[in-house]
Structure 1
Protein backbone atom coordinates (compact mmCIF):
# COMPACT_ATOMS: atom_id res chain seq x y z
CA UNK A 1 0.00 0.00 0.00
CA UNK A 2 1.25 3.49 -0.67
CA UNK A 3 2.15 5.34 2.52
CA UNK A 4 -0.83 7.69 2.26
CA UNK A 5 -3.31 4.79 2.38
CA UNK A 6 -2.77 4.03 6.05
CA UNK A 7 -2.51 6.11 9.23
CA UNK A 8 0.92 4.59 10.01
CA UNK A 9 2.00 5.00 13.66
CA UNK A 10 -1.03 7.05 14.74
CA UNK A 11 -3.16 3.89 14.79
CA UNK A 12 -0.59 1.38 16.02
CA UNK A 13 0.60 3.40 19.00
CA UNK A 14 3.87 1.47 18.91
CA UNK A 15 7.18 2.20 17.26
CA UNK A 16 7.67 -0.71 14.88
CA UNK A 17 9.84 -0.98 11.79
CA UNK A 18 7.57 -0.36 8.80
CA UNK A 19 8.11 0.11 5.11
CA UNK A 20 5.73 1.36 2.45
CA UNK A 21 5.92 1.43 -1.31
CA UNK A 22 7.82 4.51 -2.39
CA UNK A 23 5.93 6.87 -4.65
CA UNK A 24 8.59 9.62 -4.79
CA UNK A 25 9.02 11.40 -8.08
CA UNK A 26 12.08 10.37 -10.05
CA UNK A 27 14.46 12.84 -11.65
CA UNK A 28 14.59 10.56 -14.70
CA UNK A 29 11.65 11.07 -17.02
CA UNK A 30 9.64 7.91 -17.60
CA UNK A 31 11.00 6.08 -14.54
CA UNK A 32 8.28 4.34 -12.56
CA UNK A 33 8.25 4.48 -8.77
CA UNK A 34 7.76 1.40 -6.57
CA UNK A 35 4.06 2.02 -6.18
CA UNK A 36 3.49 2.21 -9.95
CA UNK A 37 5.60 -0.91 -10.57
CA UNK A 38 3.69 -2.81 -7.89
CA UNK A 39 0.29 -1.77 -9.28
CA UNK A 40 1.29 -2.84 -12.80
CA UNK A 41 2.46 -6.33 -11.77
CA UNK A 42 2.21 -7.10 -8.03
CA UNK A 43 3.59 -10.65 -8.22
CA UNK A 44 6.69 -9.71 -10.23
CA UNK A 45 7.38 -6.70 -8.02
CA UNK A 46 7.04 -8.78 -4.83
CA UNK A 47 9.31 -11.53 -6.20
CA UNK A 48 11.97 -9.02 -7.26
CA UNK A 49 11.71 -7.08 -4.00
CA UNK A 50 11.88 -10.19 -1.80
CA UNK A 51 15.36 -11.09 -3.07
CA UNK A 52 16.93 -8.46 -0.79
CA UNK A 53 14.54 -8.26 2.14
CA UNK A 54 14.31 -9.54 5.66
CA UNK A 55 10.99 -11.36 5.81
CA UNK A 56 8.42 -9.06 7.45
CA UNK A 57 6.03 -10.33 10.10
CA UNK A 58 3.01 -8.70 8.41
CA UNK A 59 1.99 -7.44 5.01
CA UNK A 60 -0.91 -5.02 4.60
CA UNK A 61 -2.58 -4.67 1.21
CA UNK A 62 -5.83 -3.92 -0.53
CA UNK A 63 -7.93 -7.01 -1.17
CA UNK A 64 -7.89 -6.16 -4.89
CA UNK A 65 -4.21 -7.26 -5.00
CA UNK A 66 -4.67 -10.47 -3.00
CA UNK A 67 -5.47 -12.72 -5.95
CA UNK A 68 -2.38 -11.69 -7.92
CA UNK A 69 -0.17 -12.18 -4.83
CA UNK A 70 -1.73 -15.36 -3.44
CA UNK A 71 0.97 -17.73 -4.76
CA UNK A 72 3.74 -15.44 -3.51
CA UNK A 73 2.16 -15.10 -0.06
CA UNK A 74 1.61 -18.83 0.35
CA UNK A 75 5.15 -19.65 -0.81
CA UNK A 76 6.49 -17.31 1.92
CA UNK A 77 4.15 -18.77 4.59
CA UNK A 78 2.01 -15.67 5.03
CA UNK A 79 -1.51 -16.25 6.36
CA UNK A 80 -4.61 -14.08 6.33
CA UNK A 81 -4.86 -12.99 9.96
CA UNK A 82 -7.36 -10.15 9.85
CA UNK A 83 -9.31 -8.00 7.42
CA UNK A 84 -10.26 -4.38 8.04
CA UNK A 85 -12.87 -2.16 6.45
CA UNK A 86 -11.24 0.59 4.39
CA UNK A 87 -13.90 2.75 2.71
CA UNK A 88 -17.39 2.78 1.26
CA UNK A 89 -16.12 4.30 -1.98
CA UNK A 90 -13.17 3.05 -3.96
CA UNK A 91 -10.30 5.46 -3.40
CA UNK A 92 -7.39 3.06 -3.70
CA UNK A 93 -6.48 0.39 -6.21
Structure 2
Protein backbone atom coordinates (compact mmCIF):
# COMPACT_ATOMS: atom_id res chain seq x y z
CA UNK A 1 0.00 0.00 0.00
CA UNK A 2 1.27 3.47 -0.88
CA UNK A 3 1.13 5.88 2.05
CA UNK A 4 1.09 9.64 1.50
CA UNK A 5 0.65 12.52 3.91
CA UNK A 6 -1.42 15.62 3.25
CA UNK A 7 -0.94 19.09 4.58
CA UNK A 8 -1.90 22.72 4.23
CA UNK A 9 0.46 25.04 2.33
CA UNK A 10 1.26 27.90 4.71
CA UNK A 11 3.91 29.71 2.68
CA UNK A 12 5.75 29.52 -0.65
CA UNK A 13 9.17 31.19 -0.67
CA UNK A 14 10.72 31.86 -4.07
CA UNK A 15 14.48 31.26 -4.12
CA UNK A 16 15.28 32.91 -7.44
CA UNK A 17 16.92 29.75 -8.79
CA UNK A 18 15.52 29.14 -12.28
CA UNK A 19 15.74 26.14 -14.58
CA UNK A 20 14.31 25.83 -18.07
CA UNK A 21 12.56 22.66 -19.11
CA UNK A 22 10.74 22.18 -22.41
CA UNK A 23 10.78 25.95 -22.97
CA UNK A 24 9.17 26.69 -19.61
CA UNK A 25 10.69 28.63 -16.72
CA UNK A 26 10.61 26.68 -13.41
CA UNK A 27 11.56 28.42 -10.17
CA UNK A 28 12.87 26.59 -7.13
CA UNK A 29 10.62 27.30 -4.13
CA UNK A 30 10.53 26.31 -0.48
CA UNK A 31 7.07 25.30 0.69
CA UNK A 32 6.11 25.44 4.37
CA UNK A 33 3.50 22.75 4.93
CA UNK A 34 1.55 21.91 8.07
CA UNK A 35 0.84 18.16 8.19
CA UNK A 36 -2.87 17.46 8.67
CA UNK A 37 -3.58 13.81 7.81
CA UNK A 38 -2.93 10.89 5.52
CA UNK A 39 -4.29 11.27 1.99
CA UNK A 40 -7.77 9.93 1.32
CA UNK A 41 -6.33 7.05 -0.70
CA UNK A 42 -4.57 5.74 2.40
CA UNK A 43 -7.06 3.35 3.96
CA UNK A 44 -8.18 3.98 7.53
CA UNK A 45 -4.77 4.98 8.84
CA UNK A 46 -4.83 7.50 11.67
CA UNK A 47 -1.95 9.95 11.72
CA UNK A 48 0.17 9.74 14.88
CA UNK A 49 -0.28 12.80 17.11
CA UNK A 50 3.43 13.71 16.94
CA UNK A 51 3.06 14.39 13.20
CA UNK A 52 -0.31 16.17 13.20
CA UNK A 53 0.27 19.92 12.99
CA UNK A 54 4.01 19.48 12.38
CA UNK A 55 5.43 22.14 10.06
CA UNK A 56 7.92 21.00 7.45
CA UNK A 57 9.70 22.65 4.54
CA UNK A 58 9.79 21.00 1.13
CA UNK A 59 11.65 22.11 -1.99
CA UNK A 60 9.59 21.99 -5.16
CA UNK A 61 9.76 23.69 -8.54
CA UNK A 62 6.97 26.05 -9.65
CA UNK A 63 6.04 27.23 -13.13
CA UNK A 64 2.38 28.21 -13.20
CA UNK A 65 0.56 30.73 -11.01
CA UNK A 66 -1.47 28.03 -9.25
CA UNK A 67 1.76 26.40 -8.01
CA UNK A 68 2.25 29.39 -5.67
CA UNK A 69 -1.13 29.18 -3.91
CA UNK A 70 -1.29 29.08 -0.12
CA UNK A 71 -3.99 27.81 2.26
CA UNK A 72 -4.63 24.83 -0.03
CA UNK A 73 -4.17 21.12 0.63
CA UNK A 74 -1.23 19.37 -0.96
CA UNK A 75 -0.23 15.73 -0.95
CA UNK A 76 3.37 14.84 -0.23
CA UNK A 77 5.13 12.43 -2.54
CA UNK A 78 6.00 8.92 -1.39
CA UNK A 79 9.66 9.85 -0.74
CA UNK A 80 8.69 13.05 1.09
CA UNK A 81 6.19 11.12 3.25
CA UNK A 82 8.78 8.44 4.01
CA UNK A 83 11.29 11.03 5.27
CA UNK A 84 8.68 12.70 7.49
CA UNK A 85 7.35 9.42 8.94
CA UNK A 86 10.87 8.21 9.72
CA UNK A 87 11.31 11.52 11.57
CA UNK A 88 14.43 12.36 9.55
CA UNK A 89 13.48 15.97 8.79
CA UNK A 90 16.54 18.11 9.45
CA UNK A 91 15.16 21.35 8.12
CA UNK A 92 14.17 20.90 4.49
CA UNK A 93 12.86 17.80 2.70
CA UNK A 94 14.26 17.59 -0.84
Q: TM-score, normalised by structure 2?
A: 0.19
The structure in which a higher percent of residues are strand is 2
User: Which gives a bigger RCO, structure 1 or 2 (Cα 8 Å, sep 6+)?
Assistant: 2
